[in-house]
Amino acid sequence: MEDKFRREVESLKSRQKWNWGIFVSSLIAIVAVFLGIIAGYSGEEGDGPLTVFLTLVLLACAFAGRELFHRTEKKLQKEFREIVMRYVAPAMFDSYEFLPEIGFLKETVSTRKLLDDSWDEFESFELLRGKCKGVPFRRAKIRYGDFHGLWMEFTCSDEHFDGARIITSDFTDAKKPTASVYNDPLTRYKSSSAGSFNEEFLCYCKDDLTAQIILRKDTMAKLRSIKKKIVNPFLISYYEDRMIVIIRTYPVDMDIPCEPSEQKDELERAWTALRPVGIFTRFLLRDYSIMTDMVDDELYDYRTVIEGGRK
């Protein structure tokens, strides 16, 4: 599998180098012709309009070349993602379907009230849906105003976590829980013995029991582990029968790059691009195991402190 993957990627990168070469060569040729026209301009009456006309023609050629270059780049990026799905996705998911032109509806995203919804501009694409370790999921890229990121939804049949939100402290795009869709406002809970966790994560719940479950030592350790793997800011929210995960990325990260200058191994990048689905699936399944372990006294050995001082 790895050999076939790398052969196809190498072929793709060769075509990309040709695309770059043709584009750069075209620009050099256009500049050379333009300088030749300027050098040959005699200044005689009647030469001016011809020079302007030829200059406009060269500019039109430059813009047409640029457009062709970007279209080819976009096509190569699309082919690269298809290669990733063909070779990497089957090893990660029980089943999957990749729909690059489809994404989440704006109404779906805004209804969750997790991001700033004051923006009119919205776009979602590259929907990946299927099952991972038996858990149904949907994943797509979204652009919501200035926000660029991944939106993932996992089917979660357990209602004990309903309403809970776990947010990394550097996720500045998160909507304040006071604007929750729930009638009762969410309260921020803090761990009474893990001060650094309180600085890294914001934990909002609707009741003490949910907070006690989330602020267990093993759960907090898992969240910290995820933070190291994901790197980018993320948010976890439980909404009815779904666990929603939003990962903040930036415009340069929206596509899986395969530029000739990129040194990172493409297969490793492909795994990294799809890995969040598996990471949060395992976290969700871990939640299930915690819920079945509620009779364990350990659950109540870990105290929580509600913001404001009440224990």
**pLDDT single digits (tens) 42-97:** 555 555 666 667 677 777 877 777 787 778 777 777 777 788 788 888 888 999 99
pLDDT > 90? residue 152: yes
- Reply yes or no on whether the pLDDT at 1 is more than 90: no
Residue with tokens 């395969």: 258
pLDDT of residue 260: 39
Residue that is written with structure tokens 């196809």 in the block: 8
Q: What are the domain boundaries of the chain?
A: 2-87, 96-306
CB-based contact 270:256 (threshold 8 Å): yes
Encode 192-203: b = buried (16+ Cβ within 10 Å), e = exposed.
Answer: eebeebbeebbb
By mean pLDDT, which of 88-92, 167-171, 289-293 is the weakest? Answer: 289-293
Q: Coil, strand, or helix at residue 154?
A: strand
Confidence of residue 291 (pLDDT cuts 50, 70, 90): very low
244 near 114, Cβ under 8 Å? yes
Residues near 259 by beta carbon (within 8 Å), at least 6 away in sequence: 16
Burial of 105 per CB tally in 10 Å (0-12, 13-18, 19+):
exposed
Q: Average pLDDT, whole number, for the chain?
A: 75
* pLDDT at 192 exceeding the cut of 90: no
Is the confidence at residue 256, as pLDDT, over 70?
no
Cα-Cα end-to-end distance for the chain: 55
Most confidently modeled of 10-19, 68-77, 191-200, 301-310? 191-200
**Per-residue confidence (pLDDT) for residue 178, from 0 to 100:** 55
pLDDT in tens, 105-125: 998 888 888 887 777 789 998
User: Which token pair is 126?
Assistant: 């590259």
Highest mean pLDDT among 10-24, 31-45, 122-136, 196-210: 122-136
249 DSSP assignment: E
Amino acid at 303: R
